[in-house]
Amino acid sequence: MERIDVTVNGAPRPLYGVSAHTTALDWLRDTGLTGGKEGCAEGECGACAMLLATSDGEGGTTWTAVNACLVPAAALDGQEVVTAEGLGSPGAMHPVQAGLAEAGGSQCGYCTPGFACSMAAEFYRADRVRDDAVPEGSSDGAGDPDASPADHGPNGFHLHALSGNLCRCTGYRPIRDAAYALGHPDQGDPLAERRSRPAPEPRSTRLEVDGHRFLRPSSLDDALRLLREEPDAAVVAGSTDWGVEVNLRGRRAPLTVAIEHLPELRTVAFGDDAVEIGAALPLSEVERRLDGRVPLLAALFPQFASPLIRNRATIGGNLGTASPIGDAAPALLALGASVVLVSADGEREVDLADFFTGYRQTLRRPDELVRAVRIPLPLARLAAFHKVAKRRFDDIASVAVGFALDLDADGHVASARIGLGGVAATPLRARSTEASLEGRPWSLETVREAASVLASEGTPISDHRASAEYRSLMLGTSLVKLFHGHPRTAEEVPA
């Protein structure tokens, strides 16, 4: 085993003794840093939140809040984290800790360290500015198209930065009050000054304990050779699914291969005929780099889990798990996306509509990685993403629908692509509904007829999230909702 360690609260700590399946939360607590708690072990509650030093893309560092319960401790090798204990002490509290105390934002205290870390990430957001300094119509860089003035404090604090943190006893108003009362970092604040220096570079990692290995290859070629030799390896990037499998299902893969650092998997490129998004780039970074240039994805991102999850989760992982309720697939199906698969033999491109072969099964061979997703250009001019869930944010969809339509000069539907999630064993295209729309006028009569077709697409089932009848009803309603939101002729749809 090579030497592996991580900088925690400014001091290096060896990772000796951790297993390939030890989570960062368990390791931190074992070292005496017990502020972070395990509330759900699946990234739902945020009680385990910690700050991770990540690159800001310009040679500096961003303090990024992530769920420690989902991150392999070995994945922190060479990295830098700050826990609630590293923010401040009882005798010298950090501004977010003092703010929570003064506003009465802590009762039992179980969730408070996680809230403090998520709040600190927003406190240190470099482009956070006061409301009176935000130009009219701007979202101050937070990226939520549905944000209302109530979602932002006068200090520019974006309340959805805390949407992945749950509190079950205090109530959220005093927590919000504490967030909105924060100033900006003082001159000399060590965590603020740390932002001007580069984030730690990822490094190759080799760990073996009790017959279980965790490997981070140094290059894509090395990773592909490893998968060819050991096709049963569990591949992780953001590890948001890995953490659930380990914590709740007891999975212990003999070999875990981490690929989140490989530069070939972390690109966003706009070409003449396609947008290519690297499979291992965190969703929050994808959102930042796209900057609204793919409106359908801009509508998806704020509804995808929580910031804590989006700061680690990847498009490649969301598609690779082949979950029928993954949020990315319906939107990407509507966009006509394809998946670029790479192995030691080279690359191949697969239409996403053909990628899913069964429940949690895909065309990807064991020796292949998802390298990127390609979205063809030009984009459809009328697009929307509808997610039906019990909560508006940070919830699993009962039904998810992605729409991408083009109208011709006469106001007829020239093309239609509709992606569905939550209504079958796999995400799928609503082919029959698409056919019922194409060539017909974009009118309420057309939409109502097509809605009855959409309601019968897939094979929805009844479960604890929704009944089959409700899912079918929501499918049909979604198309009518799209029309009422976009009752426009082709001339009125912006290019």
Q: What is the pLDDT of residues 135-170, one digit of tens each?
A: 444 444 344 444 555 688 999 999 999 999 999 887
- The per-residue pLDDT for 486 is 81
Q: How large is the average pLDDT for residues 399-419?
A: 97
Among candidates 296, 223, 289, which has minimal Cα distance to 261?
223
Mean pLDDT of all residues in 257-279: 97
What angle is formed at CA 297 by the lines to CA 265 and CA 65, rounded to 5 degrees? 65
* Number of separate helices (H) and strands (E) present in the chain: 17, 20
Report pLDDT digits (tens) over 304-337: 999 999 999 999 999 999 999 999 999 999 999 9
Whether the pLDDT of residue 493 is over 60: the answer is: no
Which domains are present in the chain?
Answer: 1-200 (3.10.20.30), 217-379 (3.30.465.10), 382-492 (3.30.390.50)
- Does the structure show a pLDDT above 90 at 400? yes
C-alpha triplet 52, 69, 86: angle, nearest 5°: 40
> Rg of the Cα trace of the chain?
23
User: How many other C-beta atoms lie within 10 A of the C-beta of residue 396?
Assistant: 17
Question: Could you tell me whether strands 274-278 and 268-270 are parallel, antiparallel, or unpaired per DSSP bridges?
Answer: antiparallel
- Tokens in use for 168? 């079950």
* pLDDT the model gives residue 368: 98
Distance, CA of 78 to CA of 5 (rounded, Å): 6
Please give the single-letter amino acid code of residue 357.
T
Mean confidence (pLDDT) of the chain: 93
Question: Hey, how many other C-beta atoms are within 10 angstroms of the C-beta on 419?
Answer: 27
Check whether the bond before 282 is cis (ω within 30° of 0).
no
Q: Is the pTM of this model over 0.85?
A: yes
Residue 488's pLDDT is 61
- What is the arithmetic mean of pLDDT over 385-407? 92
For the segment 333-359, the average pLDDT, to the nearest whole number, is 98
For residue 142, the model assigns a pLDDT of: 43
Residue 2 — very low, low, confident or very high, per pLDDT cuts 50/70/90?
low
Question: Does pLDDT of 134 surpass 50?
Answer: no
Burial of 413 (0-12, 13-18, 19+ CB in 10 A): buried
Give 206's contacts (C-beta < 8 A, 6+ positions apart): 1, 2, 213, 214, 215, 216
